[in-house]
Amino acid sequence: MRNYLVVVADGARARFFGLVPADFPPIESGPNLTELEDLVNPEMDAKGRDLWSNSKSGRGKAPGEGPAHGYDDHRESHREELERRFAQRTAGQIAEHLARHGADVLVIAAESKMLGMLRAALETRLPSGTKVIERSEDLSKLDPLQLHAHLAKEGALPPRLPPQG
């Protein structure tokens, strides 16, 4: 069986899973996704008031009952930079897990913007011969059984087999 590393990510969290065979195939279903690590980006998990002193963006009033005016405080650029840094950190952890567990297949599922950032961050970090399967969808909230079923249905992972006894 090939060794799989499954990574599901959004801007605030990246979860790492390994695919392990059943301990006792005659009485257990398998293979099973086992969570290896849960990496959190605390800056993206924070609420707006924790990141910026002003909770709203984009409108201000002129002094003395003057007309309202718009402004750009570059919050979106700041959020993108936080996501890019998290993608870099996640890519480092992916490379570490691939080496540590000898995985030769990497399955990544993330929304399209994060997937692009991860792809760029992984460009030079993947061992040669690593097969990469990408899914442009956020599956980070699924539990391991739901995640396995979803990815197996799409052909990204081998399906779980019933007990063989």
Q: pLDDT of 4-56, one tens digit each?
A: 999 999 988 999 999 998 887 778 888 999 999 999 988 765 554 454 445 55
Beta strand pairing status for 4-9 and 13-20?
A: antiparallel
Task: Provide the domain count of the chain.
Answer: 1
Are the C-beta atoms of residues 148 and 30 closer than 8 Å to each other? Answer: no
Are the C-beta atoms of residues 30 and 18 closer than 8 Å to each other? Answer: no
Structural domain range at position 118:
4-49+72-153
Specify the CATH number for the domain of residue 124.
3.30.420.60
Unique residue bearing structure tokens 């990469």: 132
Are the C-beta atoms of residues 150 and 160 closer than 8 Å to each other? Answer: no
Q: Residue 117: which residues within 8 A CB-CB, separation 6 or more?
A: 83, 84, 87
More confident residue, 94 or 63: 94
165 assigned to some structural domain: no
Q: pLDDT of 96-109, one tens digit each?
A: 999 999 999 999 99
